[in-house]
Structure 1
């Protein structure tokens, strides 16, 4: 048994668990289910990193809003009369009532349901009844949350000073531009709760080692061959991917692999199997009207992930954007939005069943996998096993990023105490 299994979990802090983990192996048990590790994850990652909030087309007009719960923080993201998307703490400045309880909707103003304090869409307090002569409404604007719209992908950050996002912003806006996400609409949305730690949800997404045995619908078009998704640089990939990139280059379609040095984010466009067109059971496009300025139906999928909260597929005919949020140590909310061209008409340009079937199946299959993974990890007999260096390279990237960031920040916290 390793040193970590000779010690009682009660004696180990999150920093201890991370320091004792074996490189290239799954994490110790309590990092996947412990309350302290969950709180540390929230404090050091979820409250400090940029998080995907949703596609900008989910906020199509003035007053459109979406809400999200990030740990202890309820957040509202809304589009103002000036067209700008802003985010605020979803907390009334009077007595703390949540302003909006629905997942999304449209309101001309943000009105607290408790005592009707009313805020403009830029956060300014407009109305507060009977507060006395000395009351100054300018001191009670909604508290802002950092928010940025990157060519149709909206990110927020709860930190007082957010980490730099310039490099990601430039690359994502360039790569996503041909998909025209800002000129899309949400054709369908799904939110599920997976009874597993957020890291298990993201680990499961970062490999296709399990795909052949778990995802019969997806594997009609998406290869579980690691050579079709593993790449080391803009000129280092399988011959099939390099040929696809050369074709995209000639059409002015950004496609080659780019990434953050610590692998927090990466993006690349990869072909589907046998030059198929979309994630459908037939392999044909689900939507007759292409997204943005995509040149062909078989341009493959632009895959983009960003730790800790999102992975995405941008296809010629539609886009699928995913957001995860931790709910508890062993619960994760997964929201999926299917985007189509804003002028595409359901029943004419696309059939909703055809559009959504593959990923509805895949999401449910992944939910079952994650929940069984979590159930096994809860056993006292669990011991972290080794990752496959070829099949699970993406998982290794995730866990190395997580341990590196958490180890550094927890050390800083201890030094400051």
Structure 2
């Protein structure tokens, strides 16, 4: 078998896997968990990476992480290293972190600051807009630097959130409306005047969908998250069918105070199955923020916020982020797949940029609740993965009241994957 034949076999195998996934998703019951292969098979994982993480908008970080020109951070989207940096005009750009010479990674550190981007392999040099400035005389007089700038990825910011898309053409559908609303809802926080206080990275030995599913329900909270439930009210929003009247009364009282300050709070959702949603929810009576005792995490509140009982503004962005915005700090979460059964969960805590560590805030107090919650969720996710791997596993039913968020997520995942696969014109007739 020659190389051409091998490539044809490989192409057929990949196509067959995509067709199998599409058919599996089409037949699935929407209120049941997925077939095991969609949680643990490397071929299915590859399709997730190609059809979701290389085609959809992903949350990568906050604009205040790179406040000045030349500031950057890096992120790995599967096998795709990406560079996020602020240029001399103050714009935030995303580039594939791979040199146009021989493909070496250019920025090898997680974050830093540069005047220009210099590849450490052969010193090819790019400006902050990705233009190739220097390739050396060795390339010859006919070499055109203008044809060898860094390859850009789509990049958008809203309310301090940075989103990227690796697709050639980025989907916009309802995303524009979400970004516009995100700008409005994040205005009180003045994100540009915040700073990264603490960051944690955790490897969870579970498929990325299991990580997200766990986040999309609080059915497990009472038995697993005592620290979180010191302040968190488990109701998903004001339309949660489980929410009792005393919660609704508490919400209405808090909302009246938020209205006085002009703080947005009403539920906004985008997409047929709530891919993106924003809602402000009160915390337990007598608590201010998500610390172990509910007391302030930082002396300085954020932006124009005065009312410390601001609750938590919850922001969801599928496929990879959930977030909690509070009066004196906010917490953002990012999930990125590593393999079929491994994910990276990154958590970042932000405070006012003038807040002084050890004086205005204690990092340990700031992070204690979510460090504990993340570790508890890691254990749950890894147990879930081990059980799914069993030959005894078969898809099980979700609760329509307690787990409707999970149902929404998997419906979004199923619809998006199938739509993206269908755009590839897959059929059993093109396997040759």
Q: Is the 8 A contact 1:231 1:257 kept in 2?
A: no
Residue number among 206, 213, 220 corresponding to 1:203 in the alignment: 213
Report the secondary structure of 1:326's partner residue: strand
Q: Output one character per residue of 1:57-78: Cα deviation in whole Å (capped at 9) or x when no partner.
A: 1112221111111122111001
Q: How far 1:103 moved relative to its partner?
A: 1.5
Q: Aligned partners of 1:377, 1:209: CA distance in 2, in Å?
A: 19
* Residue pairs, 1:45-64, within 5 angstroms: 45-64=52-71
The alpha-carbon distance between structure 1 residues 47 and 91, as it changes in their structure 2 partners (threshold 3 A), is same
Matching residue of 1:131: 139
CA distance in 1, matches of 2:221, 2:38: 25
Would the alpha carbon gap of residues 243 and 73 (structure 1) be closer, same or farther in structure 2, given more than 3 Å must change?
Answer: same
The one of 297, 316, 329 equivalent to 1:318 is 329
Consecutive unaligned residues of structure 1, counting only runs of 5 or more, are 1-8
Q: Does 1:157 align with 2:139?
A: no
Q: 2:326 and 2:290 mapped to 1: Cα distance?
A: 9
Q: CA deviation at 1:238?
A: 3.4
Cα distance between partner residues in 2 of 1:398 and 1:242: 28
Cα displacement string for residues 79-126 of structure 1 (whole angstroms, at most 9, x for unaligned residues):
111111100000000000000122211122111010011111110111
Cα distance in structure 1, aligned partners of 2:251 and 2:206: 33
Q: Are 2:407 and 1:396 equivalent residues in the alignment?
A: yes
Equivalent position of 2:260 in the other structure: 250
Contact 2:36 2:394 in 1 (8 A): yes
- Distance in 2 (alpha carbons) for counterparts of 1:158 and 1:10: 22
Report the CA distance between 1:285 and its aligned residue: 1.0
Equivalent residues of 1:376, 1:382 under 8 A apart? yes
Matches within 5 A, 1:159-178: 159-164=167-172, 165-178=175-188
**RMSD, aligned α-carbons:** 2.0
Q: 1:227 deviation in Å?
A: 6.6
CA distance in 1, matches of 2:260, 2:420: 44
- Cα distance, 1:42 vs structure 2: 1.3
1:11, CA displacement in angstroms? 12
CA gap of 1:231–1:144, structure 2 versus 1, over 3 A, is: farther
**Secondary structure of residue in 2 paired with 1:238:** helix
Q: Secondary structure at the match of 1:400?
A: helix
**1:24 shift after superposition:** 0.7
Instruction: Confirm or deny: 8 A CA contact 2:331 2:347 kept in the other structure.
Output: yes
Q: Deviations over 1:138-185 (max 9, x none)?
A: 111000111112121111111111111310111000001111112100
Q: Which residue of 173, 191, 195 corresponds with 1:185? A: 195
Distance 1:33-1:152 versus aligned 2 partners, 3 A rule: same
Q: How many residues align?
A: 405
Which has the larger displacement, 150-159 or 237-246?
237-246
CA contact (8 A) 1:226 1:391 kept: no
Separation of aligned partners in 2, 1:386 and 1:168: 31
In structure 2, the CA distance between the partners of 1:229 and 1:220, relative to structure 1 (3 Å rule), is farther
Q: Are the aligned partners of 2:18 and 2:421 in contact in 1 as well (CA < 8 Å)?
A: no
1:85 aligns with 2:92: yes
Change (3 A) 1:105 1:260: same
TM-score, normalised via structure 1 length: 0.93
Query: What SS does the corresponding residue of 2:69 show, helix, strand or coil?
Result: coil
CA 1:82 to 1:145, structure 2 compared with 1: closer, same or farther past 3 Å? same
Deviation track 1:325-367 (CA, whole Å, cap 9, x = no partner) reads: 1111111111111000000111111011111111111111111
Matching residue of 1:5: none
1:3 counterpart residue number: none
